[in-house]
Amino acid sequence: MAILDCLAKGKDILISPAFSSLILPFVWLADISFSIYVILKVAYTEIDWIAYMQQTETFLNGTLDYDQLIGQTGPCVYPAGHVYVCSILYFLTDHGLNIFKAQCIFLGVYALSLGLIFNIYRKISKVPLFSILIM
């Protein structure tokens, strides 16, 4: 009977939104801790960062024609906001060369975004814990 009671309590914790507010800070902390671990221990994998910085450098050198914003993966396919954000990152990361600094900046933006989302979830008090855990 005790096992069934434990299972029922576990189900209540996962489904009831009341427990979410208590768990959210720990989920946030675990997520950010894992992200820090990945930055520190997992080898960097180049996907498009170099291309973004090449496109950004072309823009910063005065080219405004989108067809001419070209990097190693081809022309820029993102909206101008992407180029503006990359321009800021270009200067903050020593012309895109300091990958670690870029990863830390992205982690900060991610942590802030996740914190804001979790705070909204906490305030509405209607989000069950299981949905937070699968985010």
Indicate whether 107 belongs to any domain: yes
The alpha carbon dihedral of 22, 23, 27, 30 has a sign of positive
Indicate whether 117 belongs to any domain: yes
The whole-angstrom separation of Cα 68 and Cα 124 is 47
The whole-angstrom separation of Cα 56 and Cα 62 is 10
Indicate whether 11 belongs to any domain: no
> pLDDT averaged over consecutive 10-residue blocks of the chain (135 residues)?
76 73 88 97 94 96 93 93 96 97 98 94 80 75
Instruction: Return the SS3 of 75.
Output: strand
Domain of residue 64 covers: 21-133
pLDDT for the residue numbered 24: 87
What is the residue type of 37? Y
Indicate whether 41 belongs to any domain: yes
The whole-angstrom separation of Cα 60 and Cα 127 is 44
Beta strands in 10-134 (DSSP E): 70-71, 74-75
> What total of structural domains would you count in the chain?
1
Q: What is the pTM of this model?
A: 0.82
